[in-house]
Amino acid sequence: MTNQLNFQVSKPKQLGLFKTGDLLIPTNGDSSFNDPAFASNKKLPIHRWVPWIAGFSSDFVRDVLERYANGNSTVLDPFSGVGTTLVEAVLFGCNAYGFEINPYAALATRVKSSSHQIDVAAFDEYIGKFRIFYDEKINSDYPPQSHPPKGFTTRSPFYSPKVLRKVLVFLDYLATVQVEEIRDLFRLAFASTMVSYSNYSYEPSLGRRVSAGKSEFLDYLVGEAIVKKLIEFSEDIKWFQANKPQKQTEVKVVEASFFECQEHLAPQSVDLIITSPPYLNNYHYNRNTRPHLYWLDFVEHPSDFKNLEHSNFGKYWQTVREQDRIDLDFSLANSDLSQKIELLRIQKPEKGIYGGNGWANYAASYFNDCYKFVSGIQYVLKPGGSALVVIGNSILQGILIPTDQYLGRIAEKVGLKLIGIDIPRATRVGNSIIQSDVRTVKAKKSHQLYEAIVELRRI
Ligand SMILES: C[S@@+](CC[C@H](N)C(=O)[O-])C[C@H]1O[C@@H](n2cnc3c(N)ncnc32)[C@H](O)[C@@H]1O
């Protein structure tokens, strides 16, 4: 057994461990934190607005805020996704900062976390006007003025002709909305529903409905689906206004990589970080939000994705698999991280770019970004400030990678204190890439995917 990594457990509850191969794996459910999985957000005001596969639960964020923050705290999420941390931080009376590179997710974070400032009566009026506009146009031979985004190509038509016409009528109305905050609410309502009436679905990656055994939509109540969403927004904004503490809070959403945090935040300006970076599972945020990015005019051409791909935490396997060799940029004493990457590298050389070298390049890029991430934490946190990082482990080419433990070690290297690693959930369903036989060996029974909360403190 090579128990080289110092596996620490936060008090008061002790973590169970079992041995598989040469690794210690935490056992289920013995955590003092609430479950960080996003599923429970689906019914909650504001959080239910935008489905996001990789989000965490508002209960978890609330739990952390209650333990680590007060009304004067400044809370940061460096990888804000659709804004779970920021919404809860504002509800708690804190200043809320977020970084997010995906423009659609950044829009969701910004709109949700500042929606308490919306004039609901004006918003309701716009919803009413949309209903009239839409009914009139749909029930006439009105030719929509808007066009589908030119650069957006799909293997089969994204929308059936009848559905497309309705979507374009919606876009025609959107072009008449002059108030930016209200227009953004309409854009978000469209974006958060747009896949549900398309011929694509999330399985969990975006693919054709027919490939998943589902039939295509020849027609759909598009306007009604958007109005239902808008009414949900309106109700939730009223709820937000009634439940937010009556004090000024600052909300700042930066649509840029957290690795550029020094350009946007002063050193030692944050009290608490609550976040979940992309996992080492190659979940492709950009591909899975292609429709949103094109239809909301955030991108026009495939080349517009290049920058997003390169600044994504860990890059993507597709981006680095063809390079000869990517190594760790740092050394890590008393850790088997570099040996683990070399073990990965020698798997299945006969498979060329699909073999171990590509995955080793991906893992090395990922841990190089872990280094940049914890350096950013060290820069922004005030002395005594805490960071709670939700992260999953990984299985690449059949090799188990305890990402949480390596992250803890890398954090110590930049001077942060690793307070503990907590495991609220030991069974996690891997995504399609990880479980695909084509690219990786299927997770063996003895291997287990888990989610961990890594707690760090700035000394
Ligand atoms: C696991 S998700 C976060 C989900 C979030 N906790 C929520 O509840 O919505 C990770 C996010 O990090 C974003 N991301 C990836 N690389 C980034 C970078 N370098 N800087 C900022 N955001 C990044 C991705 O676009 C993705 O939305």
Q: How far is the CA of 121 from the centre of ligand 1 (A)?
A: 33
Q: Does residue 129 lie in a domain region?
A: yes
Spatial separation of the C-alpha atoms in residues 52 and 153, rounded to whole Å:
23
Is residue 287 in a domain?
Answer: no
Domain with 397 in it: what CATH number? Answer: 3.40.50.150
Q: Is the CB of 114 under 6 A from ligand 1?
A: no
Q: Which of 218, 243, 268 is the last residue of a domain?
A: 243
Distance (Å, whole) CA 361 – CA 323: 8
* Same structural domain, 200 and 326: no
Phi-psi region of 216 (alpha: psi -120 to 50; beta: other; left: phi over 0): beta
Q: Are residues 445 and 331 in the same domain?
A: yes
Q: Ligand 1, closest atom to CA 286?
A: 25
Ligand 1 pocket check for 295: Cβ under 6 Å: no
Residues 34 and 128 in one domain: no
Q: Is 381 close to ligand 1, i.e. is its CB under 6 Å away?
A: no
* Structure tokens given for 330: 């740092």
218 and 88 in a common domain: no
Is 126 among the domain residues? yes
**Which residue, of 195, 219, 243, is where some domain finishes?**
243
Q: Judge whether 421 and 391 are in contact, CB under 8 Å.
A: no
Query: Which of 79, 264, 377, 388 to mutate for ligand 1's pocket (most ligand atoms within 8 Å of CB)?
Result: 79
Q: Answer yes or no: do 187 and 251 share one domain.
A: no
Strand 200-202 with 394-396, pairing? unpaired
**Position 219 in a domain:** yes
Q: Say yes or no: 267 and 319 in one domain.
A: yes
- Do 316 and 406 share a structural domain? yes
**The Cα angle at residue 70 between residues 65 and 72, in degrees rounded to 5:** 125
Are 355 and 255 found together in one domain? yes
Q: Identify the domain containing residue 393 by its residue range.
A: 17-112+246-281+305-457
The first and second tokens of residue 346, run together, are 């020698």
Q: How many residues does the chain have?
A: 459
Asked if residue 6 belongs to a domain, the reply is no
Cis peptide before 12 (omega within 30 of 0): yes
The secondary element (H helix, E strand) that includes residue 20 is strand 17-20
- Give the Å distance between the CA of 285 and the centre of ligand 1: 8
Instruction: Give every residue of the chain whose pLDDT is below 50, as ranges.
Output: 1-30, 431-446
> Is 290 within the bounds of a domain?
no
Same domain, 96 and 135: no
Contact 175, 187 (CB under 8 A): no
CA of 445 to the centre of ligand 1 (A): 30
Nearest to 54 by CA among 257, 262, 270, 278: 278
Q: How far is the CA of 63 from the centre of ligand 1 (A)?
A: 21
pLDDT of residue 84: 96
C-beta of 82 in contact with ligand 1 (< 6 A):
yes
Q: Whole-angstrom Cα distance, residue 58 to residue 48?
A: 10
DSSP bridge pairs for 20: 23
Measured between alpha carbons, how far is residue 354 from residues 244, 360, 410, 442 in Å? 50, 11, 28, 15
Q: Residue 209 has which token pair?
A: 């409905």
Q: What is the pLDDT of residues 53-104, one digit of tens each?
A: 777 889 999 999 999 999 899 999 999 999 999 999 999 999 999 999 999 9
Q: Are residues 224 and 276 in the same domain?
A: no
Buried b / exposed e over 280-298, threshold 16 CB at 10 Å, is bbbbbbbebbbbbbbbbeb
Whole-number pLDDT of residue 456: 98
Q: Do 327 and 444 share a domain, yes or no? A: yes
List of E strands, 327-435: 381-392, 394-396, 399-401, 417-425
Q: How far apart are CA 223 and CA 249, in angstroms?
A: 35
pLDDT of 444: 46
Split into its structural domains, the chain has a count of 2
For helices 84-91 and 103-113, the axis angle rounded to 10 degrees is 10
Q: Does residue 274's CB lie within 6 angstroms of at least one atom of ligand 1?
A: no
Spell out the residues 6+ positions from residue 125 whose beta carbon is closer than 8 angstroms to its own.
none
Q: Are residues 313 and 408 in the same domain?
A: yes
| pLDDT number for residue 123 | 98
Q: Is 387 exposed, middle or buried (0-12, 13-18, 19+ CB in 10 A)?
A: buried
11 within domain boundaries:
no
Question: Is 331 a member of any domain?
Answer: yes
Q: Tell me the β-bridge partners of 74.
A: 95
Q: Find the DSSP H helices in 99-246.
A: 103-113, 120-138, 161-174, 180-193, 222-243
